Amino acid sequence: MNKINYQLELEKIIKGLPDCRRRLFLHSCCAPCSSYCLEYLRKYFEITVFYYNPNISMPEEYRHRVEEQKRLIAELNAQLDAAGDGAVGSRISIVEGAYEPERFYEIAKGLELCLEGGERCFKCYELRLREAAFFAKEGGYDYFTTTLTISPLKNAQKLNEIGLRLSEEYGVKYLVSDFKKKGGYQRSIELSREHGLYRQDYCGCAYSKAERERMLS
């Protein structure tokens, strides 16, 4: 089956947007991945970042990542304010979801030995996207989506498939994407350097951490 070019589909949606800015509820996995997504999307949407990542197993790692997310948003907003009348885009808001790793461990039962990128990850995608869809619906947002498609290690086809299914279930539009395309992933690396962001070397869960450590040993 041919893969859909979701970045091309996103560009078509953006081209058809009305002049007034739509409200986007953007699930973010981390500050580095969100950096390019925010730079790109803030030109077209009023964005609320939703930081919800129960897959991060260690509380200290969770706090480090969420504080980096908040710092990045504060810096982006400061840059916008400094630009004055010449600024392009809107200020960005952030909502921190509950830190509830027990929900991740529940959906991971029986899948502990799956390799990164397998069925356990798909369950994790849905856990985070479902929470985003719920709050996007509750908040009356026009769209919801996730930064996860920027990672070369994440399955963009599967993410969009889940997002579109949840869109039907919750009655709120899912903004399809493949942010890694057209240099998006490389730009996220550049922006991470510019902002001095902490770039983790594993997804966040205990299983991906153990897999990473085995690869390095």
Write the burial class of residue 29 (CB in 10 Å: 0-12 exposed, 13-18 middle, 19+ buried). buried
Per domain, the residue ranges of the chain are 7-12+20-216
CATH annotation of 7-12+20-216:
3.40.50.620
State residue 1's pLDDT score: 59
208 pLDDT more than 90: no
What does the pLDDT average to over 122-144?
Answer: 98
- Of 50-54, 160-164, 206-210, least confident by mean pLDDT is 206-210
* Average pLDDT over the chain, rounded to an integer: 94
The string of DSSP codes covering 10-64 is: HHHHHHT--SSPEEEEEEES-HHHHHHHHHHHTTTEEEEEEE--TT---HHHHHH
State residue 24's pLDDT score: 98
State residue 88's pLDDT score: 76
What does the pLDDT average to over 165-174?
Answer: 98
pLDDT tens digits for range 6-26: 999 999 999 999 888 899 999
How far apart (Å, rounded) are the C-alpha atoms in residues 109 and 91? 40
Is 146:129 a contact under the CB 8 Å cutoff? yes
State residue 217's pLDDT score: 74
At 72, the pLDDT band (50, 70, 90 cuts) reads very high
pLDDT tens digits for range 78-97: 999 998 776 778 899 999 99
* This prediction's pTM: 0.95
206 pLDDT more than 90: no
What does the pLDDT average to over 57-61?
Answer: 94
